[in-house]
Amino acid sequence: MIDEPSALPVAATHDAEIDQLFGVNSPLGHAVGSFRPRQSQTEMAKAIAHAISHQTTLIAEAGTGTGKTFAYLVPALLWGGKVIVSTGTKNLQDQLYLRDIPSVRKALNAPVSVALLKGRANYVCHFHLERTLQNGRLTSRDDVGHLREISRFMKTTSSGDKAELSKVPETASIWNLVTSTRDTCMGAECQYYQDCFVMKARKEAQQADVVVVNHHLFFADVALKDTGVAELLPSANTIIFDEAHQLPDTATLFFGDTISTSQVLELCRDVLAEGLSHARDGADWAATVTPVERAARDLRLTFPQDIVRLAVNQIAPSSAFFPALETLKEQLDNMIAVLQKQAERADTIEQCRVRALELAMRLDAWNKPQTEEVILGQESVLWVEAYSTSLQLHRTPLSIAPIFNKQREGVPRSWIFTSATLAVKNDFNHYSAQMGLWDEPAQSWPSPFEYGEQGLLYVPNTLPQPNSPEYTDAVIDAALPVIEAAGGGAFLLCTTIRAVNRAAERLREEFERRKLPFPLMVQGEAGRTELLDRFRAAGNAVLIGSQSFWEGVDVRGDALSVVIIDKLPFSPPDDPVLAARIEALERKGLNGFMHHQLPAAIINLKQGAGRLIRDERDKGVLMICDPRLISKPYGKRIWQSLPPFKRTRELAVVQEFFSAIDAATGIPEQSVQTDEA
């Protein structure tokens, strides 16, 4: 039974207070030097205050530059009661917790306590750190140095949050050995339970007025009851999702289930280590785990290709896959029998037994109808995904709407969904249907930017169809004169990794051949944060990236003046979940392309286009190379959903645009100022 959150004062209106708080002499202006009144921001804050006061739902789209963070924080801190703010990434979490919320709290003089809660993999675990220090299972010299740094860090940190330790990269493999997972946490049985950073963070979150989480944490918790959010939800009055356009994909990930051969191999590694440590005489541990490891690897090898995405009904009944899956289940059962006999020898062996049982249950349930699905009328698609060294078995819900609605049932509270990209030409139907937010109020507030003056949309005349084998080369040929005219400062956003690699190869050749002085940065050559820092510092660089650079990237000023998008971002046609969703829509008499693929592509494209103009002073060109924007009947719907840039198909107009910028700023052509913002 969920307890009711404490009642909020229901005010008829907070409009007058908000006008004052966001007005010319706003206290926010003293706390935040760059603050200035914006009508869109003020109106959005009023709508959110109304939703909070009346404990209702609001879908709020706010164009880039509106200042949506302050528009929701001000009413949340003043009238929100117990507030959970969920955002898209851990970086944005840190920004909210360390910068935005303290600024607003100080400006409003609001007496609210704030806590930051991340997933358990972000906190160093005392137990696993000690075990790693003792058994020394390290595979590289880097690991040894990193472990030394983590050990020092533990003596001074009060939070245990690995984000505070910049000397050890977030991607370092050592983190897997010094943090816990839901499977490997000892819970209250752990000798370090009283000092546990995860437990401390959860306790602080329970006591705080405002808790900052991320979407992965929120939905992992709702699905697994593991991350501390489930303990917060009952008492929360207000839930705010920032970057809410990411929710359908994140929720789909967690409301489904994924079993990987990598999980099986990790379990085998731990069984061997714990068996040899605590029950060496109890079993032949190598002979116990080896058949399971072999079965897991054999399951992967039933697909000879490197990358595979297939629905279960696309796998031939005569395939080796199904017998290999049965073999893995049998060998796992054999290992469980050994673990059961030895479990009382050590808590860690008992833990391995519990993990093995859960994996066996999930493997057994994967290809069977789920009782819960029948009750909820909830359909799933079963599919497999092969990578070079692992195979994943997925069960993915076709729609998260019924599951998410079940989470929102019960006590009244306010639910705010906000992002710069939720609508298709002011139509919220696609998003509402995905999230099950039918008949909920939705509003859009325009960006304060003068897009018609600040930007130009350029669709080249000469490109072939996107399925042409020479397409990426044609994109580079068309992009080069634009990059030259801009003096660098360009993002090239691609829809596939293959296109990223080919574009990088071509641009390297062309920059060298033409003696162009533009530093080239390519996704994968360094972490995203490092690449962006180098890009900003260079001022005239060209950065090539795929999906992870389409959103959440903020480069202001002259360092970025061209965003080139190679293709309209339609989901890959071999995606089994997409195919099943389209089939389900068509069974209802709807057009899968118009009702799902097109709106999803438009929202994604709006995110990519949103990288260009980030400030009132920014100017630049958005170059979309895909000829379907002009040639297809749906193209008009796409460009009408983009910011209202001036439009051209002529390269000469683009070159004149950059010449005019150079003339207006007195910069000689092709020299570049570094962004100091």
Phi and psi for 441 in degrees, rounded to 5? Answer: -65, 140
pLDDT higher than 70, residue 58: yes
What does the pLDDT read at residue 522? 95
Residues 80-109 have a mean pLDDT of 92
Asked if 567 contacts 503 with a C-beta cutoff of 8 angstroms, the reply is no
The CA distance from 13 to 562, in Å, is 43
* Of 402, 331, 349, 335, nearest in space to 584 by CA: 402
| Strands, sheet with 57-62, edge to edge from the N-terminal-most edge strand | 114-116, 210-214, 83-87, 238-241, 414-419, 57-62, 442-445
Query: pLDDT tens across 223-241, in order?
Result: 655 556 667 778 899 999 9
Q: What is the mean pLDDT of residues 269-284?
A: 92
Mean pLDDT of the region 52-65: 94
pLDDT at 288: 95
Residue 540 carries which DSSP code? S
Q: Which of 50-64, 392-406, 522-536 has the highest mean pLDDT?
A: 50-64
Given a cut of 80, is residue 311 above it in pLDDT? yes
The Cα 398–Cα 228 span in angstroms is 27
- The pLDDT value recorded for residue 669 is 41
Taking the C-alpha atoms of residue 658 and residue 484, their distance in angstroms, rounded to an integer, is 10
Residue 257, SS3 per DSSP: strand
Cα distances from 101 to residues 47, 73, 357, in angstroms, run 20, 7, 44
CATH 3.90.1150.10 given to domain 451-665: no
> In the predicted model, what is the mean pLDDT of residues 200-220?
91
Write down the residue that tokens 């005392």 correspond to: 126
The number of beta carbons lying within 10 Å of the beta carbon of residue 339 is 25
pLDDT greater than 50 at residue 375: no
Q: Count the neighbouring beta carbons within 10 Å of the beta carbon of residue 630.
A: 15
Distance CA 349, CA 327 (A): 23
- Please compute the mean of the pLDDT values over residues 245-267 and round it to a whole number: 91
Taken in order 265, 270, 273, 274, the sign of the CA dihedral is negative
- Using a pLDDT cut of 90, give the percent of the chain over it: 65
Q: What's the pLDDT score for residue 388?
A: 86
Which H, E and C letters describe 172-236, residue by residue?
CCCHHHHCCCCCCCCHHHCCCHHHCHHHHHHHHHHHCCEEEEEHHHHHHHHHHCCCCHHHHHHHC
pLDDT at 118 over 80: yes
CA distance 244 to 431: 10
Fill in the amino acid letter for 332. L
The residue-averaged pLDDT of 38-63 equals 95
Neighbours of 24 (CB within 10 A): 8
- Helical H segments across 444-556, by residue range: 451-454, 471-486, 497-514, 528-538
Residue 674's pLDDT band, with cuts at 50, 70 and 90, is: very low
pLDDT of res. 142: 83
Range scoring the smallest mean pLDDT among 304-308, 391-395, 431-435, 502-506:
304-308
Candidate from 15-29, 456-470, 648-662 with smallest mean pLDDT: 15-29
Structure tokens at 613: 């103009």
The radius of gyration of the chain from alpha carbons, rounded to an integer in Å, stands at: 27
pLDDT at position 33 = 66
Q: How many residues does the chain have?
A: 677
Phi (first) and psi of residue 114, to 5 degrees: -130, 140
Closest CA to 285 of 338, 324, 328: 338
Structure tokens at 408: 């929102």
- The predicted model gives 123-147 an average pLDDT of 85
Would strands 257-260 and 308-311 be described as parallel, antiparallel, or unpaired? Answer: unpaired
Q: Report the alpha-carbon distance of residue 198 to residue 182 in Å, rounded.
A: 11
Residue 42: the pLDDT is 94
pLDDT band at residue 2 using 50, 70 and 90 as cut-offs? very low
Which is more confidently placed, 305 or 566? 566
CA distance 541 to 521: 7
Q: What is the DSSP letter of 668?
A: P
**Span 616-666, pLDDT tens digits:** 889 999 999 999 999 999 999 999 999 999 999 999 999 999 998 877 665
Q: Tokens in use for 595?
A: 């009702």
Give, as one character, the DSSP assignment of residue 256. Answer: S
> Predicted confidence band at 3 (pLDDT cuts at 50, 70, 90)?
very low
Q: Please list the helix, strand and coil fractions of the chain in percent, rounded to the nearest 5, in that order.
A: 50, 15, 35
Average per-residue pLDDT for the chain: 88
Element (H, E) at 114: strand 114-116
Name the residue ranges covered by the structural domains of the chain.
Answer: 15-118+197-249+400-445, 120-183, 255-397, 451-665
**Cβ atoms within 10 Å of 508's Cβ, excluding its own:** 12
Residue 243 contacts residue 419 (beta carbons within 8 Å): yes
User: Where do runs of H (alpha helix) occur along 539-627?
Assistant: 576-587, 592, 598-609
pLDDT band for 482, please (50, 70, 90 cuts): very high
Closest CA to 538 of 610, 490, 485, 578: 490
Res. 1: pLDDT tops 50: no
- What's the Cα-to-Cα distance from 437 to each of 45, 87, 351, 416, 429, rounded to whole Å? 21, 19, 40, 11, 9
Residue 283 Cα to chain centre, angstroms: 44
The answer to whether residues 487 and 456 touch, using CB atoms and an 8 Å cutoff, is: no
pLDDT for residue 287: 95
CATH topology of 15-118+197-249+400-445 equal to that of 451-665? Answer: yes
**pLDDT score for 666:** 54
Residue 337 has pLDDT above 70, yes or no: yes
Place of tokens 């050994």: 338
Fold topology of 15-118+197-249+400-445: Rossmann fold (3.40.50)
Does residue 512 have a pLDDT over 90?
yes
Can you give the pLDDT at residue 29?
Answer: 76
**Contact call for residues 544 and 492 (beta carbons, < 8 A):** yes
**pLDDT of residue 670 exceeding 60:** no
Which tokens belong to 82?
């117990």
667, pLDDT greater than 80: no
Q: Which two tokens stand for residue 347?
A: 């808590």
Residue 551 has pLDDT above 80, yes or no: yes
Tell me: the pLDDT tens digits for 577-589?
999 999 989 999 9
Q: How many whole angstroms separate alpha carbon 422 and alpha carbon 430?
A: 8
CA distance 610 to 627: 20
> Which tokens belong to 476?
């580079």
In this prediction, residue 318 carries a pLDDT of: 87
Q: Which two tokens stand for residue 614?
A: 């980030």
Alpha helices in 377-463 (DSSP H): 401-408, 429-435, 451-454
- Ordered alpha helix ranges (H), 539-634: 576-587, 592, 598-609, 628-631
CATH number of 255-397: 1.10.1660, 1.20.120, 3.30.300, 1.10.760? 1.20.120
Q: Using alpha carbons, select from 329, 342, 331, 336 the residue that is nearest to residue 354.
A: 336
Please choose, from the candidates 451, 441, 404, 462, the residue with its C-alpha nearest in 3D space to the C-alpha of residue 222.
404
